[in-house]
Chain A
Amino acid sequence: MKKILAIIITTIISISVFGQYENTLYYLDRIPQANYSNPATNPDCKWWMGGLLIPIVGQVPTFPMAFQFNMPLSWSDIMYPGKGYMSNELITPWYPYDEEIMPGEYDKNTKKFYKKLKELNYFTEEFDLNLLNLGFRVKRNFFTIELSEKQRMQFAVPGDLIEFITRGNGNVRNADLSGFGASFLYYHQLAVGYNRRFGESLKVGAKVKLLAGVFNLTTEQSNMYVNTEEITNEIDINVDYKLQTNLPIKNIEYFNDRSLQDALDTLEIEEPDLSSSKEIMELTLFTKNYGLAFDLGAHYEINSDFAVHASVVDLGMIRWNKESSQFNLQGNYHFPGILDLNYSTLDELSELNEGDGNFGLDSLIQGVEDSTKVTATQGSYVTNLVPRIFVGGTYNVSTRFTLGLLARLDVRPRSWAQAYTASLNFKTFTFGNIGLSYSIINRSFVNIGLAYTVRIGPWQMFMATDNLPIFPIYAKTIGFRMGTNLVFGRQKKIKRVKKGLPMFNSL
């Protein structure tokens, strides 16, 4: 078991060496992909191109892609070196310390662990595959065209649920399990961007994204409460879920007013007709699930040293039209006891006493299943993308070095994920750019990021991550973006900025 566990954890952590990527990449304006986080950003070249569809460049040495995985806890939260006689081993918060040798250590560990849990703990995963990137400058205007495949997955676990399971309902009598759910999103994106410099200080950009949804399964609403009364221990379970999907489900009208168990027993997905080219096209490309999103961004140079930056990306939604259906699951169940004698007559009691004991905890589960009714409707629905807001500022230490600060906010349905990054960017002559960063991400304080680009002629390779595997066990994030571009018309020399004195010379 140890080996299996070790392999699983090693595999996950080996991926996690990269960490997030956007924060460190944000200020590396020599990489065209920095434009993804702020449409006002454009590289210092006249035009560029990249993507999987570009021969050779798009495949060697790697596909142009991005991956990101966020966890609510780091590995160090669930495994760490023990103390005392366990100092040579890694333990979990539930390691059963011998109370005689180390009294109170078990309670201390578990309390510390539960304290780290948030009300809602997200596991998120994103994957982007860039098919085509084009960018070109026309005087002060810069145009971009991007074609990508995007996949998003999110899994939310309430902190109460973990505590409820591991500590029992006697310790968590009012468990709020709301938010427990998942969503999966896969769509095509065609983005057209434009930015322009206005005057010497302001540069504004915008991007319009045409979206085509392929697959979606979303927990639109998830409210679940498990309350255990004092003394009587009677349990009330309230469920109010709303699920949305574009899975082609057969006989959806059958689900109305059915119990959850009935609905699950009869759930059947209609298989697509893959022999039809039209069907294949509708499944993959022209899905009829169209959406629109916008990116907005701006740079404002306060003076020759300071600049502020702000952007909002993925501000949009997809309307799911084809095979779309929504399921409402609502139920209130009161579990009075394993043996419910309520309002029974003594005759019934006698039968119960003589019966085969067919009651018990099964009735709790059965009761929830029976009392939870499914209401199914067919029709379009909308899913919102997860907008990200970036706000930051830079200070040009020198011609080649820039210090940057960046705050990032991911607006999730039930919570906001925050990240703060301090970075130092170094422009290596005309062919490279390196960024080092320190981030506080998701209450994880040990995130050292790196982004770099290397250019050989027009061929430019890049990689960016917010979390190098220096302290992998403390990482809560896994993410990287990498790829290659062909860049043309780059500046031969770095334009030296004439610095004035004092530091805030333009104020």
Chain B
Amino acid sequence: MKEITLNDIECGHAARVIYVKGQGSLKKRMLDMGMVPDVLVSVVRKAPMGDPIELNLKGYNLSLRQKEAETIVVQEQ
């Protein structure tokens, strides 16, 4: 079965984080910003030109590019 990542989630939908792929500073920053297992992340909108996307987690809004969202493995709610 193919893993679902955050970029697969449509606007207005939410997903639960399973884990963050990759390593190094990108992963560390993701963890620091609260992308830890079991956190509920909702996809708020896409930027006018389709990328980046705006997310809501832990009561605040974060934006990531589609490419970064691909590193976050999730389970759709």
Asked if A and B are interacting partners, one says: no
Binding site for A on B (CB under 8 A): none
